[in-house]
Each structure stands twice: as C-alpha cells, then as structure tokens.
Amino acid sequence: MRVRLRLKLLRENPNSWRSRQKLSNPADPNLRKLKVMERNLFVVLAWLICQGIAECAEPASGALRFATDVRPLLSDRCFLCHGPDQSTRATDLRLDDADSALDFIEPGDPDSSEVIDRILSDDPDYQMPPPDSNLTLNDAEKRLLSDWISQGAEYQQHWAWLPPERHAAPPAEDPRWQKNFIDAFVLARMTQEGLAPSPEADRRALIRRLTFDLTGLPPTPEEVERFVADPSPRAYENLVDELLSRTAYGERWASDWLDVARYADTYGYQNDKYRAMWPWRDWVVDSFNGNLPYDEFIVQQVAGDLLPNASPQTILATAFNRNHRQTNEGGSVEEEFRAEYVADRVNTFGAAFLGLTLECARCHDHKYDPISQRDYYSLSAFFNSIDESGLYSHFTDAVPTPTLRLPENSQSEKLSTLKAAVTAAEAKLSQTRGALAAFGAWRSELTDVRQSAFSQQIVPPA
C-alpha cells in the first residue's frame, strides 16, 4: 500500500517526491504517510545491511587460517595500534607478530587469553578496540577470533615466504582428458567450481596457439596444412619439438628476460649514446635455445666471473649486472652515479631473482617489507666491490671498465686457427729443447771420457 502511494505521488508530479514535500502543505495526510514510509524503509534497509555484514563475518567451517581468516580482520580493526607501523603503534603488543602476540594469547584456551578478555569486556577503559576508536567487532567476528585461538592460534607467514610443498595429485577423474599430473589438479579445481573442460581444439587452432606461444610468430599457411594433414599420432609432439628447435624460440622467450634485466644498446639518460650490449642479448637467446638449466642461468649472470675456469661466455653472462643506465653529463659527480649503479644492480637483483622490490630499504626500514635497511646494504656490498667509473668518456666510444674483449665470429675462427698453430709450434719447440738438453748431456759425458783417457798422474822426483 505504501509503495503504491509513493508511485501515485510520483505519477501526479514529474518532480521528485522531495520537491513535492517542500511545496505541499505539511498537514497533507498523504505526505505524513510518505514520511512514515520513508522512516520505515530506512529501518528495514539498515536491518538488512547489518544482517548482511553479520553473515559475511561468519567464520568458515573447519580449520581457520591466520593469513586468510584472521589477519584481514585484525588488520582492519587492530593493526593501527597493534600492527607493523611503529609510528602509530600504541603499545609493544603486535598482533601481526607471533612472538609478541602470544604473550597475550593462550593457544587452545581463549578464556585465559587477555586478547579475548579485552574484546569481550564492556568496560570502556579496558575494552578493545576502545570505543573512541570508532572500530568495533560484532559477535560473529569475536567468535571467529575465539575459535581461532581454540584451534591453537597458529600464525602463518605470508605465502610468499613459505617453501613450496609437494602435494599428491588428486585421483584421475577423466583419464582421457588428463595428460599429466598437473591436469589432475586443474580438473579437480574445475570440478570444485562446477566447471568442465572445453572440447579439445582442432589442429588449426592448436598449431596457431603453439606457434604463437613458442616463437611469437604465426604459422605459415603451408605449415598449417602440413600439420592438419599429418596422420602421425605424435603429430602434436613432433610439432612441439620442431618449434623448440627454431632460433625464434629463444628469441621469443628471451625478450621477457631482456625486459627484466633492463637491456638496451644505449646508455640512457638524455644523451642515450650507443653502447654494445648485444653480445649479452645473444648469450641469453643461446641459453634458451641451448636449454641451459635455470640454476646455471642465474649463477652465470650473477657471478659467472667467479666460477672456476670461467670461459669468455661465462664471463659475458655477468653483463646482466651492467645493463643499468650510465651518464657522462657535465657537472655530474662520479662517485654519486657509481653509487646509483650499485643501487640499480641491487634493485634489479631483487626484482629478477627474489620477486621483491627493494628500493624502499635503501633509505629506511619499511613497515611492511621484510627486507631491512641493514639487509639492503649487506646485499649491496656484493655489487660494490669492482673498480669502475661513475661516468663514461666524453671523448671516446670505449666501453667503461671493467670490460671483456669479444671477437666477432670470423675473428673467432681465425683466432682458433692461430691458436692451433701456436700450440703446434710450442710442441715442436719443446721437442727441440729436449734435443738440446740431450746434446748437452752427451757433450758432458764426452768431456769426462777424454779427460780420463789422456790424463796421467805425474809424480815429482824425490
């Protein structure tokens, strides 16, 4: 009836009902009914919203996890005064840190935990969160914290700091679709979400996907028709092997790593002059095409020059650390920019190999990052031990030291020929030296024979 009344008022006046309210007689009975309806509607909506919030706050059944169930709640209501930010922390209690929090939490016994005692208290001087914070916990949220403590109050680190665990593959639900154990995990999650695998793609779609994925290029029409017409049951596997053998495979997949390593054949800054970093780029491409193991790929780029019997190619890999920008602007302070290069290496190392942004720790301990300023400069010491200039030359195109001389392919072949000739000559020289040594021994022996044959003892007269 109230909804019909409001619609009737709106139909009678194209203006808003609030405008009608201002212009109408306050004694109008229809207007009084509309005001009552508005208040009642507000009460109903407020009740529905509160119910929705309470339902959302209901703890999930089963074991509670700190990272997903508890930490978000504490972060929203408690971390301002009891969290990682030292500038806003009110006491020594840190609810984000297990060592600190467990002084006020009795795992398995919420009734003996001061945290729960304060949460449930009605005393405004004792209650947490305090009333003047305008932060509250509803009954469901209080019950969630109590249940978590009952279950042992186990803290977990952020998932990124936990070592990966090997899990047994779920049982095969569709052996025809599952090609390997990874498919078993995928299918199990899809089943959990009420999804089913898509039909297998036809060969034209497969070759397009594979070729773009592995080489970054589309297949030619001839390649498509050849694959479609291939009767071999291993046609797909053969296509994968063929694409992996192409140089384009390494070029495609190296491009992402070149971005991570900030590769460029120029110095950057405003002059942006040319510099030759492309040999390192080719090393990356060859590493992908040669299927270099990932651990060796990392070690050679970070410290290839320190490996035993390091080859020129192994040393070349360390150019990863020299991809940073360099300057020679007039008035630049050499040591200032040398320090910038060191910082760039540290930051790139963190992003490429640790998956972390380390820049904040260069200036201060960040309240959320796990890397302290001490950690940052301990790490930077590894990259701060080479003799280098902070500026490159204005007058020559020479690469700033330390450098590595790399011959071109044609020069490499000539060098190999010359080295072989030198090796043969040294072997011949060694033989000659051996013959000379034998000749010297023969002369010494002959001298001894002559002396014994022609010498006589002279006895002086009495």
- Last-in-domain residue among 329, 357, 383: 383
> Of 460 and 45, which is predicted with more confidence?
460
Residues 369-423: pLDDT tens digits? Answer: 888 999 999 999 999 988 888 787 777 777 777 888 888 778 888 988 999 999 9
- Last-in-domain residue among 352, 383, 414: 383
Whether 435 maps to a domain, the answer reads no
Residues 353-362: pLDDT tens digits? Answer: 999 999 999 9
Are 84 and 22 members of one domain?
Answer: no
The tokens describing 35, both together, are: 């005001």
Mean pLDDT for the stretch of residues 427-437: 89
Whether residue 317 contacts residue 290, with contact meaning beta carbons closer than 8 Å, is answered with no
The tokens describing 409, both together, are: 């392919």
- Last-in-domain residue among 56, 77, 99: 56
The one-letter amino acid code at 237 reads E
Half-sphere exposure of 453 (CA within 13 A, CB side): 6
What range defines the domain where residue 38 resides?
A: 2-56
- pLDDT of amino acid 82: 94
Residues 201-259: pLDDT tens digits? Answer: 999 999 999 999 999 999 999 999 999 999 999 999 999 999 999 999 999 999 999 99
Reply yes or no on whether the pLDDT at 87 is more than 90.
Answer: no
Whether 338 maps to a domain, the answer reads yes
Mean pLDDT for the stretch of residues 340-364: 93
Whether 420 maps to a domain, the answer reads no
Longest dimension (CA), the chain: 173
Are 150 and 176 members of one domain?
Answer: no
Are 362 and 253 members of one domain?
Answer: yes
The tokens describing 32, both together, are: 């009084």
Whether 234 maps to a domain, the answer reads no
Domain count, the chain: 4
Whether residue 391 contacts residue 334, with contact meaning beta carbons closer than 8 Å, is answered with yes
Residues 27-74: pLDDT tens digits? Answer: 555 545 545 455 555 544 444 444 444 444 444 457 899 988 999 999
Are 36 and 86 members of one domain?
Answer: no
The tokens describing 388, both together, are: 């280098």
Whether residue 391 contacts residue 376, with contact meaning beta carbons closer than 8 Å, is answered with no
Are 253 and 346 members of one domain?
Answer: yes
Whether 272 maps to a domain, the answer reads yes
Are 378 and 259 members of one domain?
Answer: yes
Distance CA 343, CA 9 (A): 70
